């Protein structure tokens, strides 16, 4: 280790609590961090006691910090100077760290995870505090300091820093298994997918299109959304499945008021087949209770009943405003509101049923005999893997 080495010190969120699973979760988080930083200059990620250290080449910090800000499972991270756990080295590091700051007052807060360090935390606070005060003239304020200088002694290393940057918290992608999300081009479903990533799921996507009724740009838009969501989980698998023949058949043979629910049930059945191939145990949608006619409690239940897999709806209790705010934080909002042709808005009835039942839909579906059309749609599934979109390329830096 160089005398004073710039690095990022990562503290993780809930995974500290997971008992015997902890090493598994830590390994996954480290793997995800390595993956997120892979295209940067040489980076070394080390596991320390209860923390992760990212060693960087000078100059790569801003890009590394932007990427760490999108890794789920991180509580916060700090650009720090790493030094040997010796008083002299710690003082030099402290002076270098505060040099870039102006402050009306300050406090030093030391923490020792490594108790073999000879000085107590209080002793460190005092000796480093005295050195900083001598160099800067700033007064000490332990109650409400303008600047807090933090020192952490851990695994025979010492880290000194001021700024903590909030992470996205949650669990590392991958620890909760895989799900298949139904992704439209709208605002809600990308947010729903990201919420599942935040709970540790790897997400694969299915989009239903009505090409050539809907144009190719709509499919590109969905691909763009998967690319943006890839910034949180890496490359994502996208399945593009044609729905047009199924919709035509429904329009020709079923009551108009039931169309949207019949489309939705067909989508769920198709997505469940894709999920079975991927060994994903659940589906995800962006539905929110009462948001539109197709999302009343009875309609959601009627859709549930046809699904062979659990249907997860992470936005069920969210208001539209909350969903929009989250889409903005994620960086998907601008693309979501770009105009597109939606496969359900076309052929949409004027007065959709708001209180339908599984029983009623089943009776209609018996006459529709959709199975051959479902099989034909699946046979035309176009699968692709979409690489993450880098924010610089799209001007979407947060």
Stretch that binds ligand ATP, among 31-39, 111-119, 152-160, 203-211 (CB under 6 A): 203-211
C-alpha distance from residue 234 to each of 9, 105, 226, 283 (Å) = 22, 42, 10, 19
The closest of 152, 228, 242 to 189, measured between CA atoms, is: 228
Residue nearest to ligand ATP (CB): 186
Stretch that binds ligand ATP, among 2-10, 134-142, 172-180, 202-210 (CB under 6 A): 202-210
Q: Which residue has the tokens 């070394």?
A: 44
> What pairs with residue 181 in β-bridges?
205, 284
- Asked if 265 touches ligand ATP (CB under 6 A), the answer is no
> Among residue numbers 63 through 102, which ones bind ligand ATP (CB under 6 A)?
none
- Asked if 183 touches ligand ATP (CB under 6 A), the answer is yes
> Tell me, what DSSP letter sits at residue 285?
-
Between 10 and 181, name the residue whose CB sits nearer to ligand ATP: 181
Q: Looking at 343, 347, 353, 356, which residue binds ligand ATP (CB under 6 A)?
A: 343
- Asked if 240 touches ligand ATP (CB under 6 A), the answer is no
Q: Which residue has the tokens 């079923």?
A: 254
Q: Looking at 29, 37, 53, 187, which residue binds ligand ATP (CB under 6 A)?
A: 187
Is residue 315 left, alpha or beta, with left meaning phi > 0 and alpha meaning psi from -120 to 50?
Answer: alpha
What is the C-alpha separation between 82 and 46, in angstroms, rounded? Answer: 13
- Asked if 182 touches ligand ATP (CB under 6 A), the answer is yes
Q: List Cβ neighbours of 112 (8 Å cut-off, separation of 6 or more).
A: 120, 121, 124, 152, 153, 154
Q: Looking at 32, 125, 184, 295, which residue binds Mg ion (CB under 5 A)?
A: 184
Q: Looking at 129, 145, 170, 186, which residue binds Mg ion (CB under 5 A)?
A: 186
What is the C-alpha separation between 341 and 211, in angstroms, rounded? Answer: 10
- Asked if 285 touches ligand ATP (CB under 6 A), the answer is yes
> What pairs with residue 150 in β-bridges?
109, 161
What is the C-alpha separation between 217 and 226, in angstroms, rounded? Answer: 14
Residue 286 binds which entry of Mg ion, ligand ATP, none, CB below 5-8 Å type-dependent? ligand ATP
Q: Looking at 41, 292, 363, 376, which residue binds ligand ATP (CB under 6 A)?
A: 292
Cα-to-chain-centroid distance, residue 37: 16
Stretch that binds ligand ATP, among 84-92, 143-151, 287-295, 357-365 (CB under 6 A): 287-295
The closest of 174, 177, 189, 207 to 284, measured between CA atoms, is: 189
- Asked if 338 touches ligand ATP (CB under 6 A), the answer is no
- Asked if 207 touches ligand ATP (CB under 6 A), the answer is yes
Residue 183 binds which entry of Mg ion, ligand ATP, none, CB below 5-8 Å type-dependent? ligand ATP
Binding site for ligand ATP (CB under 6 A): 182-184, 186-189, 206-208, 267, 285-287, 291-292, 294, 343-344
């Amino acid at each position: 280790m160089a005398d004073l080495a710039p690095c990022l010190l990562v503290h993780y969120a809930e995974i500290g609590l997971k008992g015997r699973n902890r090493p598994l979760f830590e390994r996954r988080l480290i793997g995800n961090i390595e993956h997120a930083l892979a295209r940067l200059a040489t980076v070394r990620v080390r596991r320390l006691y209860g923390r992760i250290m990212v060693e960087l080449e000078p100059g790569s910090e801003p890009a590394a910090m932007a990427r760490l800000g999108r890794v789920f499972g991180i509580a916060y991270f700090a650009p720090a100077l790493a030094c040997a756990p010796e008083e002299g080295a710690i003082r030099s590091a402290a002076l270098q760290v505060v040099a870039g700051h102006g402050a009306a007052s300050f406090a030093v807060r030391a923490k020792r995870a490594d108790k073999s360090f000879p000085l107590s935390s209080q002793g460190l606070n005092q000796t480093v505090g005295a050195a900083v005060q001598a160099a800067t003239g700033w007064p000490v304020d332990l109650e409400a300091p303008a600047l807090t200088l933090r020192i952490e002694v851990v695994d025979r290393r010492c880290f000194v820093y001021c700024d903590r940057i909030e992470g996205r918290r949650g669990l590392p992608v991958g620890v909760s298994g895989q799900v298949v999300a139904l992704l439209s081009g709208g605002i809600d479903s990308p947010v729903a997918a990201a919420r599942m990533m935040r709970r540790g799921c790897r997400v694969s996507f299915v989009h239903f299109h009505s090409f050539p009724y809907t144009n190719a740009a709509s499919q590109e838009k969905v691909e763009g959304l998967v690319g943006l969501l890839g910034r949180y989980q890496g490359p994502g698998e996208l399945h593009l499945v044609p729905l047009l023949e199924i919709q035509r058949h429904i329009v020709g043979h079923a009551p108009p008021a039931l169309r949207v629910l019949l489309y939705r049930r067909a989508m769920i059945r198709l997505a469940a087949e894709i999920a079975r191939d991927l060994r994903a145990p659940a589906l995800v949608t962006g539905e929110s209770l009462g948001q539109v006619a197709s999302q009343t409690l009875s309609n959601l239940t009627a859709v549930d009943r046809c699904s062979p897999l659990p249907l997860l709806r992470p936005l069920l209790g969210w208001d539209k405003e909350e969903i929009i705010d989250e889409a903005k934080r994620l960086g998907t909002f601008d693309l979501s509101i770009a105009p597109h042709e939606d496969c359900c808005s076309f052929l949409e009835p004027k007065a959709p049923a708001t209180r339908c039942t599984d029983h009623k839909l089943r009776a209609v579906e018996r006459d529709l005999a959709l199975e051959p059309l479902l099989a034909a749609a699946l046979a035309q599934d176009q699968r692709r893997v979409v690489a993450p979109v880098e924010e610089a390329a799209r001007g979407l830096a947060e």
